[in-house]
Amino acid sequence: MLNIKRILLISLLLLIGFSSTAQLQDYSFGDGIRYTAKDSTFGIKASFRFQNLFIADWRVNNDNFSNIGDLSSNFLVRRSRLKFDGLAHSPKLTYKLEIGLSNRDIDHEGAAYYGEGGNMIYDAFLNWNFYKAFSIKVGQYKMDGNRERIISSADLQFVDRSLLNARFNLDRDIGASFHYDRTFGKQFGLHLIASFAQGEGRNIISGNMGGYQTTFKIEIRPFGKFKNEGAYFSADLQREEKPKLAFAIALDKNNGVARDRANLGSFFPADTKYKDLITVFADFMFKYKGFSMMGEYAYRKTDDNDPRVRDINNNYTIHSYFTGSAINIQAGYLFKKDFELAARYTYLDPQHDFIAAQTNNYTLGFSKYFTGHSLKVQTDLSYIQDQLSDDGLMWRVQFEIGF
């Protein structure tokens, strides 16, 4: 708690200090508090956001809509974040620091893995554009896996991400990645990424427990760049005047994985024989005149195609990796007064029933954007079709503000 108080105090002093300069600048709500040195050797943008969420769940007994009951509900601060980013020494050297403050943000598996300081740091990295289209990123950041995960939780089309992301995303880790991002001709864009990371997830202090993680990704933008980096936020808030498309393929191998969902999930006991995980992603984003569509596919397997884990005596344990595949597709249309209707379908297909059940998730969403993603209200209703047990209904309402 003392660390949190110190961070809040320091952040408040920084915000107050920057505001004395930033108030003279012509920025709008949602742009953060900004300061840039006169000689352009330093720049910072400080911002803060939070999400307040209500969730209600019902059981559809015997999959019969005339027999719905067992209501459970929850009110919570889903996310609360402080973010600082900018440039240092040169416009070609940029940085980002993001800190989580809500209980959901800082929850973790215990001090043995995270230390006594908690799990507060989300991003802490430097990015150096060292030569033309080449750059290198070093530190802790989101791994370049599926598109939905790379999109900020502040910029989503629905209240939260899909089941595909929940089970198969790579999340954050600490390492380094090389990037080549160039436009050929008038509009054809190519982005190549190669990364190397520790493989255990963010903020781990216990060292490398298995092996290391390598990721390769290629993204193509055949019709040119999206407005305002729109390939990596949901909804066509920029109302693209010409069709824009981005599609990507990523391959990730994590050696000696100590957790049941690669960089996420529960840690296996110390006497577990770790296996390698291979994950493949394919995705696309399309936007045109208020219409947007995004699709994703994920596939994960162990090196021996057996998700079960053994102990040092070569006996199977009750633990297993989450392997299998998933598909997610969603689309929405943004009306003139910044109301959006959207629909999403997600299919989750675990490799075996003992991992989890096959699931179909159907979601309808409604959003009102007051100032883009910086100030919005969202609600969605989902029907969760579970192949092994009763189905379920989930209704969520979320308010978000970021400045």
Mean pLDDT in each 10-residue stretch from start to end of the chain (403 residues)? 55 55 62 86 93 96 82 95 94 96 86 79 97 98 97 97 97 97 96 97 89 97 95 96 98 97 93 96 98 98 96 92 98 96 98 96 98 96 94 97 93
What is the pTM (predicted TM-score) of this model? 0.92
Instruction: Extract the runs of DSSP E, i.e. beta strands, from 102-258.
Output: 121-131, 134-142, 172-184, 188-197, 213-221, 244-257
Q: DSSP labels for 155-187?
A: G-SSSS--HHHHHH---EEEEEEEEEEEEETTT
Q: What angle do CA 80, 32, 98 make, to 5 degrees?
A: 40
CATH architecture of 2-402: Beta Barrel (2.40)
Task: Write down the domain spans for the chain.
Answer: 2-402
Report whether 232 contacts 294 (CB < 8 A).
no
pLDDT at 328: 98
